[in-house]
Amino acid sequence: MHDDRTLTEERLDRALRERIRPAVHPRTAPLEFEVWHAPGEPVPFAEAMAAPFKPGAVGDDWGPAWGTSWFRVTGRVPADWAGETVEAVIDLGFAKDRPGFSAEALAHRPDGSVVKALNPRNTWLRLGEPVAGGEEFTYVLEAAANPEILDGVSALGDRETAGSEPLYRVERMDLAVFDRQVWELVQDLEVLDQLMRRLPLGSARRWEILRAVERCLDALDLDAVGASAPAARERLRAVLSSPAHASAHRLSAVGHAHIDSAWLWPLRETVRKVARTTSNVLALMDDRPEFVFAMSQAQQLDWLREHQPALYARVKEKAAAGQFVPVGGMWVESDTNMPGSEALARQFVYGKRFFLEEFGIETEEVWLPDSFGYSAALPQLVKLSGSRWFLTQKISWNTTNPFPHHSFLWEGLDGTRVFTHFPPVDTYVAELSGEELAHAEENFREKGHATRSLVPFGWGDGGGGPTREMLARAERLADLEGSPRVTIERPADFFAAAEAEYERPPVWLGELYLELHRGTYTSQARTKQGNRRSEHLLREAELWAATAAVRTGFPYPYEELDRIWKSVLLHQFHDILPGSSIAWVHQEAEATYARIAGELEAVIGAAQRALAGAPEEGSAVVFNSAPHGRAGIAAGGAALAPRDPEPAVEVEELGPGFRLDNGLLRVTVDARGLVVSVVDLVAGRETVAPGCAANLLQVHPDLPNRWDAWDVDAFYRNTVTDLTEADVVRRSGDGVEVVRTFGSSRVTQLLSLRPGARRLDIDTEVDWHEREKFLKASFPIDVRADHSTAETQFGHVQRPTHTNTSWEAAKFEICAHRFLHVGEPGWGAALINDSTYGHDVTRTVREDGSTTTTVRLSLLRAPRYPDPATDQGVHRLRYALLPGATIGDAVREGWRLGLPERRVAGRAEVAPLVSVDADAVVVTAVKLADDGSGDVVVRLHEAHGGRVSARLTAGFALAGASVTDLLERPLADETAEVDGDAVRLVLRPFQIVTLRLTPNDEA
């Protein structure tokens, strides 16, 4: 037989495009509308209804960037349409080539109640099924002119430069008859066409479908599509009824809409995106009771509760019915590389608690499809939050090494394991196409061991979520020969079944490093600095407020701290903290961090004044918020300031250059302002590699291939400019000031030693005006280290410094929190910082056989997309070199750098509220219990990587103690060993423990 396959496939393409899809709405009538363009920011419905609307017409322009236009649409159903299904079909100029990232609208009834949303691929509003004919109706559309900021440099992300020209044009405003049979025919043909094209050419099933499609088209009258559609569908019945193979892959389809809490739009627009998507989902649930939709990010539901209470009430009804499923267990889908220990724990505390209090649901699956890599601390936090499973998809974006598993056990820092799934469909915005489902089945790496995977379906980021077409596909693909079996179900049902069937899943140990988006450790330095400082201020505010509450009756600011924590957690969203949002987002973040700092400073000041007592002239109490004692002041305690003068640091002028000496370190700064020697006087060892200079600032070109703010590509290292010319090298107090100018920028550094401290402090101010450049600070250290040790949440991770395999080579840029350490047996060195996350570590072997291990901090970048002015302006950064440092030294000094001592007038000695007798145990939080009981909650962990026995002593009479989960609920399998006013602890490496201490009020 002749091969006429292409002829039939092309016939189907044209018939669908030109005849069948247009016949879904065979009769139309124009709608009338009026419009009001709101000036400035969005306004409530009632305010818009009082505004002066003006007549509009199809073809009218509307919507300057970020503007809101209100359309009042009216019409009458023609009398001769009685008995038909009728829809309004509206196109406000939506993007034709993408499902979101465009204009959107929320449709209201005249009383303000919400109908559903209009999105680029969801343009209908159902009037009735059927209609009586003659009905008059009105819809009010709140239309958002969100600009498309998807490619290249754009001024649209900043309100100051976005302009006032309209971006959109009204393309269609029609009333239309909806022909159900034609629509069903479209779904039949699309499912079969997509399946057919993915089947092998030699497959009998492919040709069976082709011939059925051919017979269907023969039965279709192209001049009377509606009338002939039932007969045409009948020709497809047999191929649509043929069941899937017994061994067909099983796909659990979960309705979903990935909505970035901010990205190419500001936070306020996400509030509206959530309402629009939710309204679509609820409308689908009313029509399709089998439809299940999963929504993560408690923050987004909290926005809905605040701004759209009627929609939120409907969400709660559908949640109770099992259709609307909260997932994720976190406040937002946060970045997990850069949030601090306590902040990452609080993501789970606030998310889980919201779902429990609002929905009565204990979420068990952690849902993080789109973050840029996953911390090795997460498995333990997942378990301690009361969750069981973890889901992501982003690791499929690896550019070098395909991840070897789709279902596996993920083992974290401390040995905790959680069952984890990567959907092999390789997208979190699936449309259930034949291409996607075939890819999921072919790509699934657990074949022979497991039979099922999950597919999240629905348009995100303004696309409006799942559509009726997606549900129609799922219905047809439930049991269809040649396709995986598709079942719409809850994520928990999938996880329970997937875990049960996989008896011995493989184990992945350590972080899930994303081989992409490495620039997010550095972009938007002010946002990162604001986050780190907010985390430290929250620690201080809780510690001193709790101490003052127990000791003096100080009113603990529960509500204020709760509100601030939620704001900090929101800004850890995976496009805010990583620096990959538009200018508007980061401008708001900077202002928010400044406001938060003021509020927390007020809390800290009030609590410390209550503890310090009445001020006396010349007296001061020094408060130490760090988790380790210093200068004779216990961790979490305060003492009178010492009156003895501190020993001076020697500063010697060497002609060209200077030498600094504090008896522990001797630092030589040459005429170029470069550190050419750092002698560890305790060990008698030079830190800087021979012939090299430390604190060498280096500038690289930085134009990644694809994602500017997100990526640094390895080739940036091929070209480097060393900043060795200095404008000024001079003594400044007990340090050396160095000033350099380069390009359009200027950097001023103060290099200093502190009395009694084994560290070289470097305070840096950069007035940065480069474009597409990368600024690094280099420290070539004379040590042979085959791995680096970087602080992460509740511990540290070790990464190879070599490039033996592609897995190591791909980690050319890495994330560290307060420290990064390199060492050999008996001696090491660390770099600590106050707000820098990006680092790289390389090694070379010198001619004499010795090794130089170079550690570099990534200080600033200058990407142009999505914010053309990223990081322009003045930055103040602090970092320090610690020669002769152990891991414990690095932990201790990292905390001290970020938590400087505070001096408050007064004369009271303040004993710690709690104290721990083991240096390896770090207390990350001291606070009052969230339930207002007055109990003291302490969270701590082992920080050095070894087993430790410790004793935690309460600075108050102790009535009892319990070990709890992150939500401060007692753990059934854990008991606290109480000994008087102390608790005895035995911790495994990196173990997190939360203790709830009940004061004895009668003591």
Q: Is the pLDDT of residue 412 over 70?
A: yes
**Of the candidates 272, 168, 181, the residue with the CA atom closest to the CA atom of residue 220:** 181
- Provide the CB-side half-sphere exposure for 778 (13 A, CA): 25
Mean pLDDT of 797-810: 98
For Cα atoms 913, 918, 921, give the angle at the middle one, nearest 5 degrees.
75
For Cα atoms 170, 174, 180, give the angle at the middle one, nearest 5 degrees.
130
Q: Is the pLDDT of residue 1002 over 80?
A: no
| 127-165 tens-digit pLDDT | 988 999 999 999 999 999 999 998 788 899 999 999 999
Task: Identify the pLDDT of residue 645.
Answer: 63
**Of the candidates 879, 529, 865, 519, the residue with the CA atom closest to the CA atom of residue 700:** 519
**pLDDT level of residue 286 (50, 70, 90 thresholds):** very high
Asked if 836 and 521 count as a contact pair (C-beta separation under 8 A), the reply is no
User: Which positions ≥6 away from 812 have C-beta within 8 Å?
Assistant: 518, 714, 717, 840
Residue type, 805: T
What is residue 384's DSSP assignment? H
**Of the candidates 503, 393, 407, 420, the residue with the CA atom closest to the CA atom of residue 446:** 407
- Provide the CB-side half-sphere exposure for 843 (13 A, CA): 22
Q: Is the pLDDT of residue 643 over 70?
A: no
d(CA 761, CA 858): 17
d(CA 940, CA 919): 12
Q: Is the pLDDT of residue 335 over 80?
A: yes
**Of the candidates 838, 842, 834, the residue with the CA atom closest to the CA atom of residue 816:** 838
d(CA 12, CA 5): 11
Helix count and strand count (H, E) for the chain: 19, 53
| 752-793 tens-digit pLDDT | 999 999 999 999 999 999 999 999 999 999 999 999 999 999
d(CA 108, CA 89): 15
Tokens of 34: 């009026």
What is residue 972's DSSP assignment? T
CA distances from 212 to 20, 195, 199, 236, 857 (A): 17, 13, 15, 6, 63
How big is the chain, counted in residues? Answer: 1003
Asked if 181 and 216 count as a contact pair (C-beta separation under 8 A), the reply is no
User: Which positions ≥6 away from 680 have C-beta within 8 Å?
Assistant: 664, 665, 686, 687, 758, 827, 883, 884
Specify the pairing of strand 68-76 against strand 172-178: unpaired
Mean pLDDT of 7-28: 98
Q: Tokens 């929905």 correspond to what residue?
A: 359
Mean pLDDT of 967-983: 95
User: Which positions ≥6 away from 859 have C-beta within 8 Å?
Assistant: 522, 525, 697, 764, 766, 775, 776, 777, 836, 875, 877
- Average pLDDT score over the chain: 97
**701: three-class secondary structure by DSSP:** strand
Percent of the chain with pLDDT over 70: 99
d(CA 294, CA 455): 12
**Of the candidates 544, 563, 562, the residue with the CA atom closest to the CA atom of residue 552:** 544
Task: Identify the pLDDT of residue 128.
Answer: 84
Specify the pairing of strand 389-391 against strand 365-367: parallel
Ranked by mean pLDDT, the top range of 589-593, 612-616, 972-976 is: 589-593
| 19-70 tens-digit pLDDT | 999 999 999 999 999 999 999 999 999 999 999 999 999 999 999 999 999 9
Task: Identify the pLDDT of residue 5.
Answer: 93
**Of the candidates 721, 729, 722, 727, the residue with the CA atom closest to the CA atom of residue 671:** 729
Q: Which of 56-60, 268-272, 275-279, 630-634 has the lowest mean pLDDT?
A: 630-634
Q: What's phi and psi for 573, nearest 5 deg? A: -55, 150
If one counts every other C-beta atom within 10 angstroms of the C-beta of residue 311, the result is 21
d(CA 248, CA 353): 39
Q: Is the pLDDT of residue 98 over 70?
A: yes
If one counts every other C-beta atom within 10 angstroms of the C-beta of residue 876, the result is 13
Task: Identify the pLDDT of residue 996.
Answer: 98
If one counts every other C-beta atom within 10 angstroms of the C-beta of residue 840, the result is 22
Q: Which helix (H) or strand (E) holds 63?
A: strand 61-64
User: Got the DSSP string for 230-260?
Assistant: HHHHHTTHHHHHSPPPTT--EEEEEE-----
Mean pLDDT of 271-299: 97
Angle between helices 180-198 and 434-443 (to 10 degrees): 40
| 166-192 tens-digit pLDDT | 999 999 999 999 999 999 999 999 999
d(CA 427, CA 393): 7
Q: Is the pLDDT of residue 646 over 70?
A: no
Asked if 885 and 818 count as a contact pair (C-beta separation under 8 A), the reply is no
Residue 761 a catalytic site member: no
- Catalytic option among 370, 426, 670, 763: 370
Task: Identify the pLDDT of residue 616.
Answer: 80
Cβ contacts of 51-59, under 8 Å, gap ≥ 24: 56/170, 57/170, 58/30, 58/170, 58/171, 58/172, 58/173, 59/169, 59/170
Sequence-ordered strand ranges (E) for 625-688 = 637-640, 650-653, 658-661, 665-669, 675-680, 685-686
**889: three-class secondary structure by DSSP:** helix
For residue 851, list its beta bridge partners.
845
Strands, sheet with 721-722, edge to edge from the N-terminal-most edge strand: 721-722, 696-701, 773-781, 851-861, 838-845, 814-815
Angle between helices 341-359 and 309-321 (to 10 degrees): 80
Mean pLDDT of 402-431: 98
For residue 680, list its beta bridge partners.
665, 685
d(CA 608, CA 161): 45
Kindly tell me the burial class for residue 223, based on how many C-beta atoms sit within 10 Å of its own C-beta (0-12, 13-18, 19 or more). Answer: exposed
pTM over cut 0.95: yes
First to last CA, the chain: 97
